[in-house]
Structure 1
Amino acid sequence: MKEKATAEPVANEAKEVEARSAKALEKAIADRNTLNKAVEDLKVRDSLTISLDQLREDRDWMRNHGIAHIVGTILEAHENLSAVNELKECAREAGFKAGYNKCLNQVNPFYKSKFTDERSGFHGVDTEVLYVVAVNAYNNLSISAIEDIEKYLEAEDYVDRLRLLYCDPGEEGTVGSSKGDAGTSGAKED
């Protein structure tokens, strides 16, 4: 009986220790889950920060370099240069003929013999129609560089693709960020 009497408090104390240990374990598991959730939240927040930084970098590159490259490509495209030169030439000729005819109209009232545009290089040429044709041709102009640029702009990683297209060794910013990120899409182009 004595042994039973001494063993009973030890057993009760062991049960209490076991219960406290179980509660401590549950609390530790709950704390670990809370910490894991906090770590995941921080990872998401860090990922969002990196994405936001990349978007800012992409926006800055587009603002400082990309738009200028795109506009330059369009303006310097052979099709555009040819059409603009044709348009300028037709406008110059139409203006010259109009000025020549205006001069004839102002001079003719003072002379008995009437001056005509027969000696003009534009005699019998309808420069106005040629000018209208040149304007219509320019308005309907198709520039192959624009089609290439549009293909890049439709991609998710369009900034990276434009950076590759307009790779300028002296230009700040490379594909992705300086940290080695892949850029807008998160995947580098092979």
Structure 2
Amino acid sequence: MTNLKAEIEKLKKEKTEAEVARDEARSHREMSEQREEKTKSELESAKKDLQLERVEKAETSRRLAETEEKLENSETARVTAESLVEPLKNDMLWMRHHGVINVANSILNSIYLDRIVTNLMVTARNDGYTHGYAECTQHVTNALRVYWDNSRSATRGADTGAAHAAAKAEYNNLCLPVMGLITAVLQSDDLVAQLRDILPDEADASDEYLE
């Protein structure tokens, strides 16, 4: 009987120990599973972080490429603008120091203009002489009550009034050939280059306007 009780106690103890071992094993397994889940979660998070980093790196590279392209285009645009501005600047300086002078000289020194102005001056002088001579003749006739012989007048028999009127009309309707050329040039896109071709450069040949 004593041995039986001892055996029962032994069995109870072994059962208790087995249950404790079972619980410990279960606890270890659960902890292991938790660690495994945690490790898997960390791996997934690391994968996501890595993927995100790759995406961000790709986006950074894309933005960097766009920035470099914009800078390159900006530099190209600057160089292009400078290449366009410099000729325009030179053209403006030429017009200021040469072009306007050349246009004015071409008009003022025109032989055609000289002829018309000379004709206008001569006819005006002749007509003035005619009227003056007639007026003097009238004054002498009235004062002395004698007929004044005007046959010696340089303009006797000439219609100086009509000649002067014709000269004035010709002057008022003056159309210089050079003005036609200049008007056509002003309507072109490369007017400075064409002005240089048709107008003599009478300004200083040292091109001081470029300094």
The percentage of aligned residue pairs carrying the same residue is 24
2:63 pairs with one of 19, 30, 35: 30
Higher relative contact order, chain-length normalized (CA < 8 Å, sep 6+): 2
1:44 aligns with 2:77: yes
- The alignment partner of 1:152 has SS state of helix
Aligned to 2:170: 137
2 CA distance for matches of 1:112 and 1:96?
Answer: 23
Aligned length: 171
Shift in CA distance, 20/68, structure 1 to aligned 2, threshold 3 Å: same
1:104 aligns with 2:137: yes
Q: Is the 1:79–1:142 contact (alpha carbons within 8 Å) kept by the matching residues of 2?
A: no
Higher helix share: 2
Moved more, 165-174 or 130-139: 165-174
Aligned to 1:170: 205
1:89 aligns with 2:122: yes
Shift in CA distance, 95/25, structure 1 to aligned 2, threshold 3 Å: same
- The alignment partner of 1:136 has SS state of helix
2 CA distance for matches of 1:77 and 1:146?
Answer: 10
Q: Which has the larger radius of gyration?
A: 2
2 CA distance for matches of 1:100 and 1:52?
Answer: 65
Kindly provide the CA deviation profile for residues 129-168 of structure 1, in whole angstroms up to 9, marking residues without a partner as x. Answer: 1101011112223322222222222210101221233353
Q: CA RMSD in A?
A: 3.2
Segments of 5+ residues of structure 2 without an aligned counterpart are 1-35
Runs of 4 or more, structure 1, over 6 Å off, are 8-12
Kindly provide the CA deviation profile for residues 45-89 of structure 1, in whole angstroms up to 9, marking residues without a partner as x. Answer: 554455445434323322322122112112222221211111111
Shift of 1:34: 2.5
1:114 pairs with one of 130, 147, 163: 147
Segments of 5+ residues of structure 1 without an aligned counterpart are 179-190
Q: Is the 2:106–2:199 contact (alpha carbons within 8 Å) kept by the matching residues of 1?
A: no
1:63 aligns with 2:96: yes
TM-score by length of 2: 0.65
1 CA distance for matches of 2:56 and 2:170?
Answer: 84
Q: Is the 1:61–1:173 contact (alpha carbons within 8 Å) kept by the matching residues of 2?
A: no
Shift of 1:19: 3.9
2 CA distance for matches of 1:167 and 1:78?
Answer: 15
